[in-house]
Chains A and B, each alone.
Chain A
Amino acid sequence: MALSYSSEQEQIRGEARRFLEAAFNAEKQRRLLHARGGFDTDFWQACVNMGWTGAGVPEAFGGLGLGPLDVCILAEECGRFAVAAPFLAANYAAAIAINDHGSDAQRAALLPAIASGDARFALALFEDEDGLPQEPATRFRAGLINGRKCAVVGAAAATHALALTDSGVALVDLAKHVERHIGDTIDNSRCSGDLAFSNASGELLQGGAQALRLLAVQALVTAFEQIGGAEAAMARAQRYANTREAFGQLIGKFQAIKHRIAEMYVRNELARGNALLAATGLAEGAPDFIARSGAARLAATDAFEFAAAQSMQTHGAIGVTWEHDLHLYLRRARAQALELGSPLFWEDVVVDMLSGSAM
């Protein structure tokens, strides 16, 4: 079990961070907040150019064939800068599902398209607030899909979806017969909205592709994005506590401040431990992968929401202004806590796995 990063992986991280540092533009991020269904095409193109879109795609299909942990490093660095990368996690989950459960034709058509960035996947699983539907209302009949999926990340700009239907997980081409209902969200850069299928054409994935497993892979990659965001929020609190003075001293000297930041560290490290266990579990095909991913999701959600909110509190009034970057993290933290199923849902997933009662 490898829970430590190799030097190659540290290199990947370094390159990603250098690129993102140069590319990060808080003004653009704020503009995206006002753009309903906002999709950052420039950033996506940059991801394509750097090969990130193909990171998790096997080499035989034009990708880099990297493992889960490598993909997760990219996700973590993206999260650190709160960039608009709604397809990072979904594309990776889709690539694994298509590689494992797709037909030869599907693999040949879609995996190279994911690697080249031409295909952008959304996972269309939820239908209401009550977790993964036990009996999906979305129907699959003779290659046609009808139904509505809610709060799909990337819905506004996805080219394909993996949709949970009454007959299983289906691959859907979003070019036609799909209505995208895009409203404003707390973080419009997530590009999310509802997808309504009316006779959209699709194909079922074979071999028992499980919606929960698909979601667990997306949650794993997202957990690293969340950890990156949590660390960035903590770093801003550290920096502020080390420069801002009040009552004749640096505010970082006050235990009310320094303990709060230390508590961020505790949560961040617990989240990282869990996320590394889940990434290893995916790489090694561990039977308890879903429990690990669920724990990673819970811990990372907790860490990011805590760090974003408490970093804001550490900053005082300047932190709650539109012009300050911290709300990019606060919004992202809440959006990511909700969009793949809230902690209430994931607590149940974990306990079902622990107590042996299947979903």
Chain B
Amino acid sequence: MTDLAAYRLRARAFLEQHAESYGWDARRGLSLAQEVDLAKRWQGMKAAHGYACITWPTEYGGAGGTELEKIVFSTEEAKYGFPAGLLAITLGMPVPMMLHHATPEQKRRYVPPAVRGEEMWCQLFSEPGAGSDLAAVRLKARRDGDDWVLSGQKIWTSYAQFCDFGILVARSDPDAPKHKGLTFFFVDMKAPGVSVRPIKLLHEHEDVNEVFFDDVRIPDANRLGAVNDGFRMAILTLMMERYVAAASDDGPPLDALVQLARTRKLRGRPAIEDGRVRAAIAHAYATQRGLAAIHERALEELTAGREPGPEGSIHKLAASRARHAMATLALDLSGPSGVAYDRDAKTRTDYMMSWIDGPTLRIAGGTDEMLLNTIAEKILGLPQDHRPDKAPRGAP
């Protein structure tokens, strides 16, 4: 047995031991706040057993392991429905930025509590007038002696209502060209002047928030990167994860759809005999297997010490489309009674919840349009859009 196979077995034993207390069954019926609490306790449990932040240095609470161990662990973890996703942002972008760009003292203060699930972080990038176009942010950072004063608004901030700290990009020089006048900070979400207002999404869960900064004073020590180098830092944040393990596709699995098609009827016959149903199932299967193969291949490349190919970038786009098509078909198969709605149901087990989450998936974490732009420009070498917001090269 390879070391990695042994690692997988150990991880699986650990996960099995805790699945009942932290997995799907434990999460049933919980409010978002209760799930966050469970997620933080689960993180603490992982930290105590060397499974938290597997690739991070032990000095800061990580396990000092390899990229592959991390991927193996998170793949296994996803099978049991552990609530790791609620801390995915904290540990995926803000805290890694601290690890790379904060001072040693700051790292010692901020990284280990996050690794143990004691403190949560958010990413304050989007604003009402700056979504996909991140460089359009307007929240002001005004220099005042050794401090900065922040005023303005952020929006779509995931889990901000539960967070202790956040990373933020603000406009420090309103006179500089759009991409040149931004600076990157971390902020205390409990500081005076910070107020958080949750936003209810379609499934009625308050996953995201508006965050208002009303003359919030932060020390210059909270700056990450140089003054006016914030856009580059923000892009670094978005590129933080070298290879993200295939996101757990959080809708009901294909097997469940096949089972549903066996039990529902169309024209008096089992729906699984209907060609339209069969076509949809066959193509959903091909999409899922195609994505699984791409994931598997990336693992092989990493095992061989090579960079995975760029094809992993199609994952979110293709998976969210397939998931939405499956949810729609499942509701269609239920006939008029498909309208039933259970607001406490979870996207993983309920087709209506999975369906209503579909439009959100197309937006969150990069819209379909931005993903297609990225594929076209970064992988296929097509030219960038006409960009009137960028000064022509050589212009004053």
In the complex, what residues of A have CB within 8 A of residue B281's CB?
350-351, 354
Given A253-B385, A258-B377, verify A4-B297 contact (CB < 8 Å). Answer: yes
Rounded to whole angstroms, the CA-CA distance of A271 and B381 in the bound complex is 21
A291 to B254, CA, bound (A): 14
B334 contact set on A, CB distance < 8 A:
none
Cross-chain contact A266 with B317 (CB below 8 angstroms): yes
State which residues 268-292 of B face A: CB under 8 Å. Answer: 272, 275, 278-279, 281-283, 285-287, 289-292
Cβ–Cβ < 8 Å partners of A302 in chain B: 283
Residue from B314, B369, B385 in contact with A266 in the complex, judged by beta carbons closer than 8 Å: B314
Is A298's CB within 8 Å of the partner chain B?
Answer: yes
Q: What B residues does A242 contact at CB under 8 A?
A: 381-383
Complex alpha-carbon distance, A234 and B289, angstroms: 23
Residue B294 is within 8 A (CB to CB) of chain A in the complex:
yes
Contact mask for chain B residues 64-75; partner A; CB cutoff 8 A; 1 contact, 0 none? 000000000000
Against A, the Cβ 8 Å flags (1 = close, 0 = not) of B370-390 are 001101110111111110000
Q: With a CB–CB cut-off of 8 A, which chain B residues contact A295?
A: 282, 285-286, 289-290
A11-19, A32-40, A140-148, A273-281 - interface stretch? A273-281
User: What is the number of contacts between chain A and chain B, taking CB atoms within 8 Å?
Assistant: 142
- CB distance A3 to B296 under 8 Å? yes
In contact, A299 and B372 (Cβ under 8 angstroms): no
Q: Per-residue CB proximity of B347-371 to A under 8 Å, as 1/0?
A: 0000000000000000000000100
CB distance from B330 to the nearest CB of A (A): 15
Q: Are A266 and B375 in contact (CB under 8 A)?
A: yes
A139 to B385, CA, bound (A): 63
A259 lies within 8 A of chain B by Cβ:
yes
Residue contact A3 to B380, C-beta cutoff 8 Å: no
B304 interface contact, C-beta 8 A: yes
Among B279, B292, B301, B304, max chain A CB count under 10 A is at: B279
A109-131: CB near B (< 8 Å → 1, else 0) gives 00000000000000000000000
What residue of chain A has the Cβ atom nearest to residue B314's Cβ? A266
B382's partner among A241, A271, A298, A351 (CB-CB below 8 A) is: A241
A273–B376 contact, CB under 8 A? no
> Which A residues, 146 to 199, have Cβ-Cβ distances below 8 Å to chain B?
none
Contact of A3 among B282, B300, B318 (CB under 8 A): B300
- Interface size class for chain B? 35 or more
B293 within 8 A of A: yes
Taken together as a complex, chains A and B put the C-alpha atoms of A295 and B285 apart, in Å, by 7
Closest approach, in angstroms, between the C-beta of B343 and any C-beta of chain A?
32
Distance in Å: Cβ of B72 to nearest Cβ of chain A: 15
> CB-CB < 8 A to B317: which residues of A?
266
A344 to B293, CA, bound (A): 24
Tell me which residues across on chain A come within 8 A of B384, comparing CB atoms: 253
Q: Decide if A270 touches B381 in the complex (CB within 8 Å).
A: no
Contact across chains for B385 and A263 when beta carbons are under 8 A apart: no
Tell me the smallest distance from the CB of A236 to a CB of chain B, in Å. Answer: 12
Inter-chain contact A3/B297, CB cutoff 8 Å: yes
Point out the residues of chain A lying under 8 angstroms from B332, CB to CB.
none
Q: Which residue of B lies closest to A6 (CB)?
A: B304
Shortest Cβ gap from A182 to chain B (Å): 32
Task: Report which of B258, B297, B314, B385 forms a contact with A276, defined as CB distance below 8 A.
Answer: B297
Q: Does B311 contact A (CB under 8 A)?
A: yes
Contact: B380 with A265, CB < 8 Å? yes
A34 to chain B, nearest CB (A): 34
Known: A4-B304, A250-B383. A355 touches B290 (CB 8 A): no
Which of A1-33 touch B at CB < 8 Å? 1-4
A249 lies within 8 A of chain B by Cβ = yes
User: Could you say which of B286, B300, B376 has the most chain A C-beta atoms within 10 Å of its C-beta?
Assistant: B286
Cβ 8 A contact of A4, one of B258, B287, B290, B301: B301
CB distance from B84 to the nearest CB of A (A): 25
B383 adjacent to A299 (CB under 8 Å): no
Q: Which of A241-260 contact B (CB under 8 A)?
A: 241-242, 249-250, 252-255, 257-259
Would A351 and B383 count as touching, CB distance under 8 A?
no
User: Once the chains bind, are A299 and B290 in contact (CB under 8 Å)?
Assistant: yes
Q: Which residue of A4, A265, A355 is within 8 Å of B262 (Cβ)? A: A355
Complex Cα distance A217/B279, Å?
Answer: 22
Chain B residues closer than 8 Å to A263, beta-carbon distance: 372
Nearest chain B CB to A81's CB is how many angstroms away?
A: 20
User: Closest CB of chain B to A351's CB: distance in Å?
Assistant: 4
Are A265 and B379 interface neighbours, CB within 8 A? yes
Q: Which residues of A contact B376 (CB under 8 A)?
A: 252, 258-259, 261-262
Q: Which of A210-251 contact B (CB under 8 A)?
A: 234, 238, 241-242, 249-250
Q: Closest residue to A252 on the B side, CB-wise?
A: B382
A241, B383: Cα distance in complex, Å: 9
In the complex, per-residue mask of B18-50: 1 if CB is within 8 Å of any chain A CB, else 0: 000000000000000000000000000000000
The answer to whether A269 touches B314, judged by C-beta atoms less than 8 angstroms apart, is yes
A234 → B minimal CB distance (Å):
8
Complex contacts, B382 vs chain A, CB 8 Å: 238, 241-242, 252-253, 257-258, 261
In the complex, whether A346 has a CB less than 8 A from a CB of chain B is yes
Contact B289 A351 (CB under 8 A): no
Residues of B within 8 A of A355 (CB): 258, 261-262, 272
Nearest CB on B from A281, distance (A): 10
Q: A252-B383, A261-B376, A348-B278 are in contact. Are A269 and B294 (CB under 8 A)?
A: yes
Distance from B304 Cβ to chain A, minimum over Cβ atoms (Å): 7
Q: What would 13 A/B residue contacts be, using CB atoms closer than 8 Å? A: A2-B300, A4-B300, A238-B382, A253-B384, A258-B372, A262-B380, A266-B375, A272-B290, A272-B293, A274-B286, A274-B290, A346-B282, A354-B282
Q: Which residues of B contact A (CB under 8 A)?
A: 254, 258, 261-262, 272, 275, 278-279, 281-283, 285-287, 289-294, 296-297, 300-301, 304, 311, 314, 317-318, 369, 372-373, 375-377, 379-386
Known pairs A252-B382, A266-B318; list 10 more (Cβ under 8 Å).
A255-B385, A262-B372, A269-B294, A271-B290, A274-B290, A294-B282, A296-B286, A299-B290, A344-B279, A350-B281
